[in-house]
A and B are shown apart, each in its own frame.
Chain A
Amino acid sequence: DQQVKQNSPSLSVQEGRISILNCDYTNSMFDYFLWYKKYPAEGPTFLISISSIKDKNEDGRFTVFLNKSAKHLSLHIVPSQPGDSAVYFCAASPGGGADGLTFGKGTHLIIQP
């Protein structure tokens, strides 16, 4: 049973527009959420995170929104750039650095020129 779900395997967005990647979770014990960017045959690269006590966190072009009641979070990238093309993984943690992460299956973002 998947505890972190990314229901869109792929997403195509035109350069300069907004990319919105979605993630849902089922485990109420998750207290911290992270987004990673990954290229094939490489490890994930941390992008942005959010604690459950917040509903929004922004870092440059990246903003993560958390709707705790709906157990849903989203990553907004604006404006989208060609270099953003990659697989994006949503991950969740009970909160501590001593806990491993639970990942979604990823969404392949393709930025069209």
Chain B
Amino acid sequence: GAVVSQHPSWVICKSGTSVKIECRSLDFQATTMFWYRQFPKQSLMLMATSNEGSKATYEQGVEKDKFLINHASLTLSTLTVTSAHPEDSSFYICSSGSGTSLPDTQYFGPGTRLTVL
């Protein structure tokens, strides 16, 4: 299957700072990327859907001004957690797909563990 990478794999930051997480599709062009968040022993929750060149669509309850998503190219999407607080500590996972094919072709990245002190 396709390869999706995330960087960094883990990050620790102070409360009030901003953190940027990168998601790259390494061997195909991803017109759509999805961002998920997973709290311990919980399911992966879809946060937002980003399409290359357009604004991201956020799920209900997700603050778009806090979680800034940029999908400037077909191989890169970034999630910036602004003014991070301890409750933002979570495992953030991206996935990429072609946008028109079946859900099987959503390839997940390895995730980023964010810890906010």
Contact = CB atoms under 8 A, between A and B. Distances in A.
A82 interface: no
A44 B45 contact: no
Given A100-B34, A106-B43, A44 B108 contact: yes
A2 B46 CA distance: 13
B25 interface: no
Interface range, B side: 20 to 34
A21 B111 CA distance: 24
Interface of B: 1, 4, 6, 9, 32, 34, 36, 41-46, 49, 59, 91, 93, 95, 97-111, 113
Interface of A: 2, 4, 9, 32, 34, 36, 41-46, 49, 89, 91, 93, 95-106
A30 to B, nearest CB: 11
Contacts of B110: 41-43
Given A43-B93, A43-B111, A44-B108, A100 B102 contact: no
B80 to A, nearest CB: 19
Q: Which of A45, A49, A100, A103 has the most CB of B within 10 A?
A: A100
A98 B32 contact: yes
Given A43-B110, A44-B108, A93 B43 contact: no
A49 B113 contact: no
A57 to B, nearest CB: 11
A9 B41 CA distance: 9
What 3 pairs between A and B have smallest CB-CB spacing?
Answer: A43-B108, A100-B46, A103-B43
A7 B70 CA distance: 36
B91 A41 contact: yes
A41 B43 contact: no
A44 B110 CA distance: 8
Contacts of A49: 102-104
B38 to A, nearest CB: 9
